[in-house]
Structure 1
Amino acid sequence: MVFWDLGSKKFAVGGAVPVWDNMIKQGLIKEPVFSFWLNRNADDEEGGEIVFGGMDPNHYKGKHTYVPVTQKGYWQFNMGDVIIGDKPTGCCSGGCAAIADSGTSLLAGPTPIITMINHAMGASGVVSQQCKAVVSQYGEVIINLLLSEVRPNKICSQIGLCAFDGTRGISMGIQRVVNKGNDKSSGILGDAMCSACEMAVVWMRSQLQQNQTQDRILDYANQLCERVPNPMGQSAVDCGSVLSMPKIAFSIGGKEFELAPEEYILKVGQGSAAQCISGFTALDMPPPRGPLWILGDIFMGRYHTVFDSGKLRVGFAEAA
């Protein structure tokens, strides 16, 4: 299989002009648009189709919803909120950066939101003791600060679990305890507590927006602390529960793009030997590039995707 870089020439290796830019330069296409259709039917011989210079109307339904590109090289755009079942998480209500990428098999996003999604589908995870400690010791404080309308990204520094310059750092209280050991271990522990606090803030803010009580919020956060995605592996789910899992939707261009559980769960094997895994994986890309969502093949399999370099926009329509 051959993979072509269809991004900006600013990322070309050794100054080489990418295939797409060469096509445009040589006048080989009618319009500066290319589109993807990925066939999700494993029994078909045709795995999909990429069209250079337009799109195939046989492979989509209705009209495309377009959003402007915000970063040319990556075909990056602004995505709205993430909806689990029928409940908005509020995590991207102010907008989240996202890219559509056929080179990514799964659907990747920030750990706090992926944890919420995997918890809703009953996926396995790992227990974070730092997370449980944050919820136990600082949970009520975080809720009160959120109710006091303190900016969410300032809360963890305000309670001393993250550096005060807005970057991840060492808790002042923890630093005094662990500095008797080596500095490297203290930094790792401080980063873990900071990360745990940032996750807890996201979860609690989402629950407050759903008007949940304090007890419910703390219990929910504790449950999520036990299902943090394993960065070294994939999250397993019960194959027998797939049909009862919630739909997951992404708001793009004012429209909700849904994924049904049978579309975001990957089944490997047959019969009693079959295993099912979540199609969502955690990706924590630091600023200024991140946080970032990557809508990979799981999303593009459901939605026909158009990359319009002439009008600098990306479009999605239901695949046919």
Structure 2
Amino acid sequence: MKIKVLLAALVIWSLCTSAFGFNNASANNTIRIGLKRRNLDIHSIKAARIYAKHNHKGSNMNLGALRDEIVYVKNYMDVQYIAEIGIGSPPQHFAVVLDTASSNLWVPSSKCIFSIACYLRSKYRSRLSTTYTKIGNPSKIPFGTRSVRGMFSQDNVKVGSSVINQQVFTEVTREGFFTFLSARYDGVLGLGFQDAAAERVTPVWYNMLLQRIVTQPIFSVWLNRDTKSRLGGEILFGGVDSTRFRGQRTYVPVAQNGYWEIEIGDVVIGNNSTGLCKGGCPAIVDTGTSFLAGPTTILTQINHAIGAEGFVSMECKTVFSNYGNMIWENLVSGLQPERICNRIGICTRNGTFGVSHVEEKMVARSSKLEKLPNDESGLCSFCEMTVFWMQVELRKETTKEKAFEYVNQLCEKLPDPQGKSYINCDVFSLPHITITIGKKPFPLSPDQYVIRVEDNHDTRCVSGFTALDVHPRRPLWVLGDVFLRAYHTVFDFGNLQVGFAESA
């Protein structure tokens, strides 16, 4: 609804300004901003994590009903593409992440004196700007598992060659020491929706439209696959550069206004369907993370197929050893898969092939913060994964012996949330990983999903896939730069859709 109001306002503004002779924007107005690529290193790869937290809100206070709201956050340690903007008059320059998975603009403030991280990057000085307007209201923006804090201010913001007048942004006065100290950028410019903005301030992208700086309500992203080029990529506000893609574009609707969230279909490893998302899974299109994230259930299968190092889980092996035969017999007898773990007594909730508790259990074990858990939530999640894996093998008419061997191997290939999965740099024999979008296949070749990082003058390779377990009923995916390098992407704000075509 908010977007429709904004677009209606744009139409009225266009008619009024044309009638009174104030419309000085051409129909082809665009803003092109280049992206600088920074090479990932072992430190940033190991520190890169993606999170999701749950807010429980009452949807009906009389009935006491609850609904789950998933808040997707990350720590930006793996950010690879940076752009330069200016704030103030004259412009003060900042290196920022152009992030489609957030909605606020924030940079460090000269008033940030108690956070060491602030001393290592450019800081905004309001006293040096002739167009600064004080607001002063407190601001808190999620950042990884914590947040950055500051105050709202207002000033002109220069993006490319254009200036957005009196943009509300956050002057950050307190940054977490460990969450931000190693970052190689100053702040973040969010390109998400106003619904997700702290205090619902108007995002930069909205003001580009409202101030008629661009006339078409779209922006497009191209990430350069040539690692030797000085140009890392570009974002074109208000248009699409036809030289940056080839073939036909596939458009899919945005499912949720808070994020650029779409629905994807089946994920295929080589020629083998994984099956989990055949009925559809949500996916956030995110320019602010380097990886492609998905549920542990599928990421484990991918790790196994591409030979990536994994995390050996004794809980997984215990469940499989103790209950494998019972699970197989129940599947063969035709019992609904989602009821099996409940029937054999591991889960008390109705199974949904969820893995919402797996990550925290694996983190606790790998960091030795507690003994191996024997609680229901962890074992239940591993049981549901085992059921799913066996069901996939049963559909392929695999023998019981082969299926058991496969599941046992998968228990040794679980993605390690404390680090990334290393992989052989000889990628020619690895399978393609294909994501279905709009009923069309979008394959990723091995050289597209394997990330090369420098380590003491040596090159190491890691899997471009990382685990993200959100909710048993909501296996969320994140299409980060691993995917966006392969596919030129159009964010169609006017029609609430996202379009993909093969990058040129």
Question: TM-score, structure 2 length as denominator?
Answer: 0.57
**In the alignment, structure 1 residue 135 sits paired with structure 2 residue 229:** no
Q: CA deviation at 1:153?
A: 2.7
**In the alignment, structure 1 residue 306 sits paired with structure 2 residue 400:** no
CA 1:109 to 1:190, structure 2 compared with 1: closer, same or farther past 3 Å? same
Equivalent position amino acid for 2:403 in 1: I
CA 1:18 to 1:150, structure 2 compared with 1: closer, same or farther past 3 Å? farther
Q: In structure 1, the residue corresponding to 2:443 is in which secondary structure? A: strand
- 2:503 matched residue in structure 1: 319
- 1:181 matched residue in structure 2: none
* Contact 1:90–1:209, Cα closer than 8 Å, also in 2: no
Equivalent position amino acid for 2:385 in 1: M
- 1:258 matched residue in structure 2: 443
- 2:414 matched residue in structure 1: 228
* Contact 2:195–2:257, Cα closer than 8 Å, also in 1: no
Distance 2:260 2:243 in 1: 24
* Contact 2:311–2:414, Cα closer than 8 Å, also in 1: yes
Q: CA deviation at 1:67?
A: 0.8
CA 1:106 to 1:72, structure 2 compared with 1: closer, same or farther past 3 Å? same
Equivalent position amino acid for 1:35 in 2: S
Equivalent position amino acid for 1:147 in 2: V
* Contact 2:487–2:500, Cα closer than 8 Å, also in 1: yes
* Structure 2 residue runs without a partner (length 5+): 1-94, 98-188, 356-369
Q: CA RMSD in A?
A: 2.2
Distance 2:203 2:334 in 1: 48
Q: In structure 2, the residue corresponding to 1:193 is in which secondary structure? A: helix
Greater relative contact order (Cα < 8 A, sep 6+): 1
Which among 367, 376, 379 is matched to residue 190 of structure 1? 376
Aligned residues: 304
Q: CA deviation at 1:307?
A: 0.9
Q: CA deviation at 1:158?
A: 2.0
Q: CA deviation at 1:150?
A: 3.3
**In the alignment, structure 1 residue 2 sits paired with structure 2 residue 96:** yes
Matches within 5 A, 1:31-180: 31-164=216-349
CA 1:166 to 1:226, structure 2 compared with 1: closer, same or farther past 3 Å? closer
Distance 2:323 2:250 in 1: 42
Distance 2:376 2:389 in 1: 20
- 1:176 matched residue in structure 2: none
Question: TM-score, structure 1 length as denominator?
Answer: 0.89
Q: CA deviation at 1:75?
A: 1.2
- 1:295 matched residue in structure 2: 479
* Structure 1 residue runs without a partner (length 5+): 170-183
Q: CA deviation at 1:154?
A: 2.6
Distance 2:422 2:443 in 1: 21
CA 1:152 to 1:72, structure 2 compared with 1: closer, same or farther past 3 Å? farther
- Greater per-residue helix proportion: 1
Query: What do residues 210-253 of structure 1 show as CA deviations (whole Å, max 9, x unaligned)?
Result: 2211111111000000111111000011223x111111000111
Distance 2:436 2:339 in 1: 26
Q: Which moved more, 1:75-84 or 1:271-280?
A: 271-280
CA 1:20 to 1:124, structure 2 compared with 1: closer, same or farther past 3 Å? same
Distance 2:210 2:454 in 1: 46
**Larger Rg over CA atoms:** 2
- 2:386 matched residue in structure 1: 200
Which among 408, 419, 423 is matched to residue 237 of structure 1? 423
Q: What percent identity do the matched residue pairs reach?
A: 49
Q: In structure 2, the residue corresponding to 1:2 is in which secondary structure? A: strand
Query: What do residues 119-176 of structure 1 show as CA deviations (whole Å, max 9, x unaligned)?
Result: 101111111111112212222222233334433333222221122355889xxxxxxx
Q: CA deviation at 1:202?
A: 1.9
CA 1:303 to 1:115, structure 2 compared with 1: closer, same or farther past 3 Å? same
Distance 2:203 2:455 in 1: 41
* Contact 2:351–2:384, Cα closer than 8 Å, also in 1: no
Q: In structure 2, the residue corresponding to 1:62 is in which secondary structure? A: strand
* Contact 1:158–1:164, Cα closer than 8 Å, also in 2: no
Q: In structure 1, the residue corresponding to 2:190 is in which secondary structure? A: coil
- Greater per-residue strand proportion: 2
* Contact 1:39–1:47, Cα closer than 8 Å, also in 2: yes
Distance 1:232 1:73 in 2: 28
